[in-house]
Amino acid sequence: MTERRLSGVGATPLSGVGTAVWYAPDAELGSPPDPETIDADVERERFETARDAAREEIRAERERTAARLGEAESEVFDAHVQFLDDPQITEGVEAAIGDGLPAGHAVDRTFEQFIEQFEGMEGRMAERADDLRDVRDRLVRALGGDERADLGSLPEGSVVLAERLTPSDTAQLDPERVAGFATVTGGRTSHAAIFARSLALPAIVGVGTALRNVADGTEVVVDGRDGTLLIGPDEETRGGTAGEEAVEVRDGTVETADGAPIEVAANVGTEADLASAAERGADGIGLFRTEFLFLDRDSPPGEDEQYETYREALETFPDGRVVVRTLDIGGDKPVAYLDLPDEENPFLGERGIRRSLGPDADLFETQLRALLRAAGEEAGGELSVMLPLVATVDEVRQARETMESVAADLESEGVSGALPEFGVMIETPATAFLADALIEHVDFFSIGTNDLVQYVMAAERGNDRVAALGDYRQPAVLRAVHTTVAAAQGTDVWVGMCGEMAGDPDVTELLVGLGLDELSMSAVAVPQVKRAVSETTVADARELAARALAASTKREVDCLLTEITR
Amino acid sequence: MPERVVTVVPEDGLHARPASNFVEAASEYDIEIQVGHVDGDLVNAASMLAITGLGVTAGEDVRLVAEGQEAEAALDELERILSTPEGEG
């Protein structure tokens, strides 16, 4: 077999070789549950939601197809939307739900009648049966839930191929058994890509529909470093790629070639991530997301439970710093015990610090108590507290007052604690503009590029259609970073970056030149970024940054960066 | 009840693009519009499934029936779609 290559977007700087396994989450619906257990209203709602999701997907697919193959080829998707919204389908599904079927089975039963009818017809009508199957599969997939195939029990050495992988899909993947994955859709900042990095899995996203031609059982190499999928690699390629660890791990702080220290830290979102961050040589934790403590449970974690978790993180990095972000939650994540509002656009709604100073004030205080107690521990590294989604100086002032009153409470109770370093995550354009006004209230800034890009560019994360806009190489984003760093210059406030940009070794020199003191990323990227830092000189980096800040288009920025990495 | 008989001109018949256009146009009107073979049962003109199920080919006659406000306007538009050769719609 000769080698063939498909290209996509590399999600992790790792490569892996294995056997292709197609992941089709719609394989089997199983037998329907007892009708007594079905809440028809809930099922109708699930159907509506799934239909909206499927409609979005079909439209996106139409756009992609029009771009790749032309308008004529994409027209079939118009018919798919019409099948999806067909009054007979709606009536059929609603009737089936009324008979006590869950949404997935109701969809299946309704479509089956029409598929059979079309198959019994001649010629072009029969072809329509395939279109109906496609629409049905989308709906059933969108209804997901417990009806998915098991990704946790794949044979060792599998390379998972899929249309898309949801965060819950990737979370099931076991890096010990899975050699990597490749998906038809998705971009570098899609959730699947981010999960892949946190699991250190070789992965390529956005390969396009050509991926569908790769058969189950084919030998493939997933090379996330340059975003290629090699199909049927020859022995030489295989030997050269398989199992190669990209860069050696370095412990201890790295300096640029001319002696400027740059802290290289890791982002963590679970307790398990702590160990992997330490293994990969992170100097500390630049972003400790605390949401995992609060999700998937019936009541919020208590003060002691949180204290133990934070203390453990500090013990993992006895000589480093652990930046803990306070609870960043909003209407996009379901939390049973919180009364989260149903918002049209949760990313612009009541979330992050807005909730902590509002309806979740009690949770915020409990979290601060646990954090201050952990900060008071002699053993372990230094703890810092960081506020998410700040937009005004008042929010910072109010949060600081809360922290100080929590400290006073602890003292009057005779509980040991300490005031930690206090900082703000720069992820709204408002905080970038206000950086100079925020300086006097904080010890540090950490630029959260994923959300900053989304808000500066008004381009949703993970939306393929606006992927080019939602890119941290956009000059507007670089200028927001510059404004923040410039505000801190000559003060004691340090500036870090936590976000996908910080973990991209291709922009490390640019970030050093922009004046960042700390870079925090998925653990998997730490060794590469440490190497990139050590190969940089501050003088060259500053010149590159000056040229990048003068650029007016992303294309110019891209050209500057390729010139450098050439 | 306004109705008329129209000969289907597009090469594809009531399939593919013409069918999509037809269903889309019929869905725009908030009234009941039906279509069928001249001597057969009528189906909902706003249902892609039903239209596809009719299997109408080029050169065939179909019967259009509409009832309610703007019935004539709706029939005019649908007739125009059915009598426009492909690529000119």
Per-residue pLDDT of chain A (566 residues; tens, 9 = 90+): 467 888 888 888 888 888 998 886 554 567 777 887 888 898 999 999 999 988 988 888 788 767 766 777 778 888 889 999 999 999 999 999 999 999 989 999 999 988 888 888 776 676 778 788 888 888 887 886 444 456 767 888 899 998 877 655 666 677 778 889 999 887 776 667 877 877 778 999 989 888 988 888 889 999 888 888 998 877 666 655 544 445 678 888 899 999 999 999 999 988 878 988 999 899 999 999 999 899 878 899 999 999 999 999 999 999 999 999 999 998 677 787 888 888 888 889 999 999 999 999 999 999 999 999 999 988 889 999 999 999 999 999 999 999 999 999 999 999 999 999 999 999 999 999 999 999 999 999 999 999 999 999 999 877 778 888 999 999 999 999 999 999 999 999 999 999 889 999 999 999 999 999 999 998 888 999 999 999 999 999 999 999 999 999 999 999 999 875 44
B44: chain A residues, CB-CB within 8 Å: 87-88
Q: Which of A75, A121, A122 sits opposite B16 (nearest CB)?
A: A75
Can you tell me which residue has the tokens 């949703």? A460
B50: chain A residues, CB-CB within 8 Å: 86, 88
- What pLDDT does B36 receive? 94
Angstroms from A112 CA to nearest CA on chain B: 12
Can you tell me which residue has the tokens 């079939």? A76
A83: chain B residues, CB-CB within 8 Å: 48-49
A128: chain B residues, CB-CB within 8 Å: 52
Inter-chain residue contact A121 with B55, CB threshold 8 Å:
yes
What does DSSP say about strands A15-22 and A158-162: parallel, antiparallel, or unpaired?
parallel
Nearest CA in chain A to B13: A124
- Name beta bridge partners: A263: A518
Query: Residue A389 carries which side chain, given as an amino acid letter?
Result: L
Selection from A453, A464, A389, A424 nearest residue A191 by Cα? A464
- What pLDDT does A566 receive? 40
Q: Which of A87, A89, A117 sits opposite B53 (nearest CB)?
A: A117
Inter-chain residue contact A88 with B46, CB threshold 8 Å:
no
Nearest CA in chain B to A110: B49
**B56 contact A CB<8A:** no
Catalytic residue among A80, A441, A482, A498: A498
**B65 contact A CB<8A:** no
Angstroms from B17 CA to nearest CA on chain A: 7
Catalytic residue among B15, B26, B34, B62: B15
CA A389-A306-A267 angle, to 5 degrees, is: 50
Inter-chain residue contact B48 with A121, CB threshold 8 Å:
no
B32: chain A residues, CB-CB within 8 Å: none
Inter-chain residue contact B48 with A125, CB threshold 8 Å:
no
The answer to whether A95 touches A144, Cβ cutoff 8 Å, is: no
**B57 contact A CB<8A:** no
Inter-chain residue contact A121 with B15, CB threshold 8 Å:
no
Angstroms from B16 CA to nearest CA on chain A: 7
Nearest CA in chain B to A87: B47
Can you tell me which residue has the tokens 């590469």? A528
Q: Which of B44, B48, B53 sits opposite A82 (nearest CB)?
A: B48
B22: chain A residues, CB-CB within 8 Å: none
> What token pair was written down for A226?
């340059």
Q: Which of A88, A89, A125 sits opposite B55 (nearest CB)?
A: A125
The answer to whether B18 touches B10, Cβ cutoff 8 Å, is: yes
Residue B79 or A210, more confident: B79
Selection from A80, A12, A384 nearest residue A222 by Cα? A12
- What pLDDT does A521 receive? 94
Tell me the whole-structure pTM to 2 decimals: 0.59
Q: Which of A86, A121, A122 sits opposite B49 (nearest CB)?
A: A86
Nearest CA in chain B to A128: B52
**B55 contact A CB<8A:** yes
C-alpha distances out from residue B15 to A77, B9, B11, B85, Å: 13, 12, 9, 13
> What token pair was written down for A221?
């190499």
A486-507 core/surface letters (b: 16 or more CB in 10 A; e: else):
ebbeeeebbbbbbbbbbbbbbb
Distance CA A160, CA A180 (A): 6
Q: Is B15 a catalytic residue?
A: yes
The answer to whether A262 touches A533, Cβ cutoff 8 Å, is: yes
> What token pair was written down for A409?
């409470």
Please give the radius of gyration of chain B, using alpha carbons only, rounded to the nearest integer.
11
Q: Which of B20, B44, B53 sits opposite A82 (nearest CB)?
A: B20
Q: Give the count of Cβ contacts less than 8 A between chain A and B.
A: 43
What letter would DSSP give residue B68?
Answer: S
- What pLDDT does A5 receive? 87
Distance CA A338, CA A362 (A): 11
Q: Which of B15, B44, B48 sits opposite A83 (nearest CB)?
A: B48
**B46 contact A CB<8A:** yes
B46: chain A residues, CB-CB within 8 Å: 87
**A191 contact B CB<8A:** no
Inter-chain residue contact A86 with B47, CB threshold 8 Å:
yes
H or E, element range at A220: strand A219-223
- What pLDDT does A301 receive? 94
Q: Which of residues 7-36 of B touch A (CB under 8 A)?
A: 15-17, 19-20, 23-24
| A499: alpha, beta or left? (left if phi > 0; alpha if psi -120 to 50) | left
Catalytic residue among A80, A105, A191, A482: A191
| Reduced 3-state DSSP string for B4-52 | EEEECCCCCCCCHHHHHHHHHHHHHCCCEEEEEECCCCEEECCCHHHHH
Long-range residue pairs from A67-75, CB within 8 A, at least 24 positions apart, any chain: A68/A208, A68/A209, A75/B16, A75/B17, A75/B20
> What token pair was written down for A176?
């010990």
A505 φ, ψ to 5°?
A: -60, -20
Selection from A270, A283, A497, A273 nearest residue A382 by Cα? A283
Optimal mutation site among B22, B41, B47, B48, interface A, most CBs of chain A within 10 A: B48
Write down the H helix ranges in A352-392. 353-356, 361-375
Q: Which of A86, A88, A124 sits opposite B15 (nearest CB)?
A: A124
The answer to whether A519 touches A256, Cβ cutoff 8 Å, is: no
CATH of A258-565, one of 3.20.20.60, 3.40.50.12280, 1.10.287.130, 3.90.1150.10: 3.20.20.60
**A78 contact B CB<8A:** yes
- What pLDDT does A281 receive? 93
User: What fold is seen in the domain A4-25+148-241?
Assistant: Glucose Oxidase; domain 1 (3.50.30)
CATH 1.10.274.10 fits A35-145, yes or no: yes
Q: In order of start, what are the domains of chain B with their CATH numbers? A: 3-82 (3.30.1340.10)
Inter-chain residue contact A79 with B49, CB threshold 8 Å:
no
DSSP string, A434-459: THHHHGGG-SEEEEEHHHHHHHHHT-
List the domain boundaries for chain A.
4-25+148-241, 35-145, 258-565
Selection from A320, A317, A364 nearest residue A338 by Cα? A364
CA A59-A65-A71 angle, to 5 degrees, is: 95
Selection from A174, A196, A168 nearest residue A183 by Cα? A196
- Name beta bridge partners: A222: A16, A229
The answer to whether B86 touches B12, Cβ cutoff 8 Å, is: yes
Q: Is A403 helix (H, G, I), strand (E, B) or coil?
A: helix
Can you tell me which residue has the tokens 């007052």? A401
